[in-house]
Chains A and B, each alone.
Chain A
């Protein structure tokens, strides 16, 4: 079966972000960018499905600026067979991305689409669900385990309070939780080989998708700073402060 895996270029998760002085956005100039951690898990899972003989082809896709091709090359180095870059210079959020991915799904007809459960920049947690709804597929969100058998996929999902397992008819959409797997590192020979793998560029027009407008971002600000407090010397002092100063006990 063919697996489509969507990846996003985001600010590296270790970077301490800065809000621009004009409050228009977070400052992304000269900041280290990387593949979204949840997307790395999605790529890893797709590659493992191929290694198990379940998947025959893994196609990586991203929506974004030219620079996002770097993350597609990373996906190729990790084991994806080919890549599709849907080029948009404007910032697109979940609904627009889901519609563009729907265009790619209509062309590629994958049996399974794997995405991360959320991007660590917008923290939306929407795209996979939206893509499933638009394409009429079932969804297995926040997956910590997947098993493909008898034309369906069993997805164990992390839910508040524990786990839930659902069975979905294929084709289906799965979004990854952190516990699904441990992504591998790309080795240098694989990075070299990835440069020769096919990477195709598409435009929203070529996919026949009218990109919807997103939410208006009026202001981005730094949250109220939390000040460090005091260090106490003993358990007695701690209990005393909690009882008499903070009054929370």
Chain B
């Protein structure tokens, strides 16, 4: 088995998700290489080389890979894929964007968002918004896989892989980067946070999210939101937790003013401990919450912040 992991990175930093994908690769077994593609990514490559279990980091450093547009990354992967039996990446927006191109160009099926490695060709993955788990087997010569990062523990940073440059460069005549607007936040990233405090429609407006931020600051937590809160314009959409937003699995998930639609549960029901704060004691969220508190969030939240 020979496995290639496509690394994710932003602003010269390796994304935390990559260490989880390497863990999934290690579970398959065999030789694990990491590919870092981008512009001015030597630092990212050096960080990737410290991930335990990685034997070699391959670096494609060129302007065409800047912003990691799917078309050139897909073409690069196609050129490298013949050396590998498996190509893996995180089921992030970046991974979901690029990897199916590799699968299609090699004429193989992609296995999306695996939760578990059963064997080198058999994997478990969620379907129907996580309401069923399918065990699937691939007979394809190349396994193209995205990994649900919250389902695998990150590998340690104590490796020392070699770093090699890839000279081969592709061209991209069909797409062009225009601009990017990223939400600014000092809090931990939603995907990797140990504690998440999330608000729903019950928050009433965007201003009231400050009540959650006070608690998040005391706990070192990230702030999330339900789709209802995002659609109502309370908060930006990158805070959305759910089937169509981010999938999270923190130690503690505090759902405030969230009813618990299946779409939202799909994104957080693997959290270790779930707390629900809601004034409606019939809300579905209470059916999965370990601790429920029925009451007015505008009274509960300030009291909670004070107690922490």
Contacts and interface: CB of A to CB of B under 8 A. Distances in A.
B174 A137 contact: yes
A231 B288 contact: no
Interface stretch (B34-42, B46-54, B158-166, B180-188): B180-188
Interface in B109-135: 109-113, 122, 126-135
B275 A242 contact: yes
B74 A248 contact: no
Contact of B176 (A144, A166, A232): A166
A196 interface: no
A168 B132 contact: no
A95 interface: yes
Given A95-B110, A130-B100, A229-B289, A246 B273 contact: yes
Contacts of A219: 134-135
A23 B105 CA distance: 32
Contact of B291 (A127, A165, A238): A238
B291 A133 contact: no
A217 B103 CA distance: 18
A214 B109 contact: yes
Interface string B48-81: 0000000000000000000101110010000000
A65 B224 CA distance: 40
B103 A130 contact: yes
A223 B304 contact: no
Interface string B83-108: 00000000011101111111111011
Given A125-B112, A134-B104, A223-B126, A166 B175 contact: yes
B207 interface: no
B205 interface: no
Interface string A212-249: 11111111111100111111101110110110001011
A159 B93 contact: yes
A222 B132 contact: yes
Given A139-B175, A167-B175, A223-B131, A218 B136 contact: yes
A19 B180 contact: no
A154 B178 contact: yes
A139 to B, nearest CB: 6
B100 A162 contact: no
B22 to A, nearest CB: 19
A120 B252 CA distance: 27
A74 interface: no
Contacts of B282: none
A228 B284 CA distance: 10
Given A139-B175, A213-B139, A218-B137, A231 B286 contact: yes
A129 B274 CA distance: 35
Contacts of B304: 235, 238-239
A17 interface: yes
A17 B180 contact: no
B134 A179 contact: no
Contact of B111 (A215, A238, A242): A215
Contacts of B293: 231-232, 234-235, 238
Interface string B286-308: 11111111100000100110011
B174 A217 contact: no
A131 B92 CA distance: 20
B291 A241 contact: yes
Contacts of B251: 248
A164 B291 contact: no
Contacts of A64: none
Interface in A177-228: 177-179, 212-223, 226-228
A243 B92 CA distance: 33
A228 to B, nearest CB: 5
Given A139-B71, A169-B173, A246-B273, A235 B300 contact: yes
B302 to A, nearest CB: 9
Interface in A122-173: 122-127, 129-134, 136-139, 141-142, 144, 154, 157-169, 172
Given A161-B10, A216-B136, A249-B308, A231 B281 contact: yes
B157 interface: no
B236 interface: yes
Given A95-B103, A134-B104, A229-B291, A126 B176 contact: no
B195 interface: yes
A169 B174 contact: yes
B219 interface: yes
B243 interface: yes
A71 interface: no
B208 interface: no
A215 B100 contact: no
B307 A248 contact: no
Given A120-B129, A215-B111, A249-B252, 12 more contacts: A13-B263, A17-B128, A95-B108, A138-B175, A144-B237, A164-B181, A179-B237, A218-B135, A226-B269, A229-B291, A230-B290, A246-B273
12 contacts: A11-B128, A133-B101, A134-B104, A144-B237, A162-B238, A179-B231, A217-B134, A221-B135, A223-B130, A231-B293, A235-B304, A235-B307
